[in-house]
Amino acid sequence: MRNKLYPSEYLALLSIKYEVDADKFFNALISSVKNRKSECGDLSIECRSKQNHKIILLITRGSKVVAQFQIPEEFLSKQHNPIKEVKNAYMNDRHSLKKCRAPQSFQIKDLQVGMKKVSLKAKVLEVSKPTFVVTRFGNYASVANAMVSDDTGKIKLCLWNDQINSVAVGDTVQIENARISAFRNERQLRVGKKGTLRIAEVAIASNGGEISLK
């Protein structure tokens, strides 16, 4: 097996990569040993040899060789499907990892310098007049600070160029994928190229309060 993977791990990865059902894949492998050849989706499986309780299988996709590998004969005689078990574990790990990488929603009181991929909803209290600066890349840019707040606190939001005119005092903004930095020992919220800043939709409740509309 390449990369020192167990047969179940390697075959599970093939099942994921070529989007074939784990049960159908496992049954097709068994069928290829009995009938020399089998099909699973657009994959063709051929049993090349069988000796000393070892089986060599060749998997192709059209004219392209996908894999050729050796597995123990006992692997295909298991009552349960080892490929399915490992595939489910991989998919669960992927989902957990993706969830961890997704921007997380916070309240202002929880924000700390160095945090990344921060999402939050806040109200704009004030926006400073823009000033012109020269960036580290030698470009001219407009920059302004907005003070935003939620029920737990306040924080400065750094606005650049077109972001400055996109918000106004009284707006409720939705910030996604931002990071927290420090400027002159003060926390600051920054929305980079990968982040987004938009006006959140707000409806007026019958009691005069605001109801956020997602």
Domain harbouring 112, CATH code = 2.40.50.140
Do 118 and 187 sit in the same domain of this protein? yes
Do 109 and 32 sit in the same domain of this protein? no
Examine the pLDDT at 43 and tell me if it is beyond 90: yes
Angstrom distance (rounded) from CA 176 to CA 200: 12
User: Could you give the number of structural domains in the chain?
Assistant: 2
Percent of the chain beyond pLDDT 70? 86
Q: Which of 150, 168, 148, 149 is nearest to 158 (CA)?
A: 148
Do 89 and 135 sit in the same domain of this protein? no
Q: What domain range is 61 assigned to?
A: 2-101
Do 33 and 76 sit in the same domain of this protein? yes
- pLDDT value of residue 1: 39
Last residue of a domain, one of 101, 130, 159: 101
Tokens of 138: 């030698």
- pLDDT value of residue 183: 81
pTM over 0.85: no
The residue-averaged pLDDT of 201-213 equals: 40
Do 124 and 40 sit in the same domain of this protein? no
- pLDDT value of residue 7: 84
Tens of pLDDT along 160-172?
Answer: 888 888 888 999 9
Centre a 10 Å sphere on the Cβ of residue 86 and count the other Cβ atoms it contains.
Answer: 22
Do 21 and 92 sit in the same domain of this protein? yes
Do 108 and 97 sit in the same domain of this protein? no
Do 190 and 111 sit in the same domain of this protein? yes
Last residue of a domain, one of 76, 101, 126: 101
Angstrom distance (rounded) from CA 176 to CA 157: 12
Do 82 and 111 sit in the same domain of this protein? no
**pLDDT band with cut points at 50, 70 and 90 for residue 208:** very low
For residue 78, give the amino acid letter: K
The region that residue 75 occupies, defined by phi over 0 for left and psi between -120 and 50 for alpha, beta otherwise, is alpha
Q: Angle 209-211-213 (CA atoms, 0-180°, nearest 5)?
A: 160
Do 109 and 97 sit in the same domain of this protein? no
Last residue of a domain, one of 101, 117, 150: 101
Do 209 and 108 sit in the same domain of this protein? yes
Do 114 and 44 sit in the same domain of this protein? no
